[in-house]
Amino acid sequence: MFSFDDEKPTITYGYRFSLGNGAEREFKVELDRASLSVVPTPMESYPAWTALTSHQCAGCPLKPEQHPRCPIAANLVEIVDFFKDAASYDKAVVEISSEARNYVKETPLQRGISSLLGIYMVTSGCPVMEKLKPMVAIHLPFATAQETTYRVTSMYLLAQFFIARRGGQPDWSLENLPRVYDDIRMVNRGFVNRLLAAGVQDASINAIILLDTFASYVHYPGADSPLGEIVGQMEALFHAYMPP
């Protein structure tokens, strides 16, 4: 991923949470630079809710014989455990460090957790969520709906360029983008059920629901759809490219 010989083989994101009760915790996310896959930290044992067959997502193509644990769940044990008793709207100061820049935001806890979980959801090896992995190359914490729309449509259209370059049939009209997000929504819903079964409080659960908010309005981008409205607003910004 944009790799140069003198760069480290991994990319690290640091997420430090300072809670209103005085508790602090930093989570380090390490990604392989070439593949953007998370570098896992193996544990001696895993809780039962991480088993692949524990509320396995509808349509999940993985088999327990090859994947005894859900790849996403296996990477989220420490995060879910730390926030298991936290409420969604508890205030937190979230400090995010990366190679390029740092971010600091006072925000409801669910938003900070959502940003952190968003990295793991797409880099842990879930074959459905992998389609969003290219966006991790330019991770943007606390993105607005407009920013997410720009990044998603840009990523998807760049994917179509690569498909066309390899002789495939590109989808320049974005017609199949909703299908991608239909599958992603199934994973989000399945993971919420997995966390509910684990008995965690709502901060981590609502963090997943926040991730699902954008997916819920990705429909064919007609002018009257939420996605279509944002895309329509963006079109005016590209007037310099338009034919006379």
- Tens digit of each residue's pLDDT (9 = 90 or more) over 34-62: 999 999 988 999 999 999 999 999 999 99
Question: How many C-beta atoms lie closer than 10 Å to residue 5's C-beta?
Answer: 4
Lowest mean pLDDT among 50-64, 80-94, 208-222: 208-222
> Does the residue 4 lie in any domain?
no
d(CA 8, CA 157): 29
The residue-averaged pLDDT of 6-18 equals: 90
> Does the residue 176 lie in any domain?
yes
Report the pLDDT value the prediction gives residue 5, as an integer from 0 to 100. 46
Q: Is the model's pTM score more than 0.85?
A: yes
> Does the residue 139 lie in any domain?
yes
Buried b / exposed e over 99-126, threshold 16 CB at 10 Å, is eeeeeeeebbbbbbbbbbbbbbbbbbbb
Res. 162: pLDDT tops 70: yes
Q: Count of domains in the chain?
A: 1
d(CA 53, CA 194): 10
Contact 164, 187 (CB under 8 A): no
> Does the residue 3 lie in any domain?
no
The residue-averaged pLDDT of 204-215 equals: 90
d(CA 141, CA 82): 20
More confident residue, 219 or 179: 179
> Does the residue 168 lie in any domain?
yes
Report the pLDDT value the prediction gives residue 83, as an integer from 0 to 100. 93
The residue-averaged pLDDT of 183-201 equals: 92
Domain, as residue range, for 25 = 10-241
**Collapsed DSSP state (helix, strand, coil) of residue 155:** helix
Terminal C-alpha separation, the chain: 37
> Does the residue 2 lie in any domain?
no
Res. 6: pLDDT tops 70: no
**Collapsed DSSP state (helix, strand, coil) of residue 184:** helix
> Does the residue 203 lie in any domain?
yes
> Does the residue 1 lie in any domain?
no
3-state secondary structure 110-149: HHHHHHHHHHHHHHCCCCCHHHHHHHHHHCCCCCCHHHHH
Which band of pLDDT confidence, cut at 50, 70 and 90, is reported for residue 2?
low
d(CA 159, CA 172): 10
Contact 95, 141 (CB under 8 A): no
Res. 109: pLDDT tops 80: yes
Averaged pLDDT score across all residues of the chain: 91
* Closest by Cα among 105, 33, 47 to 76: 47
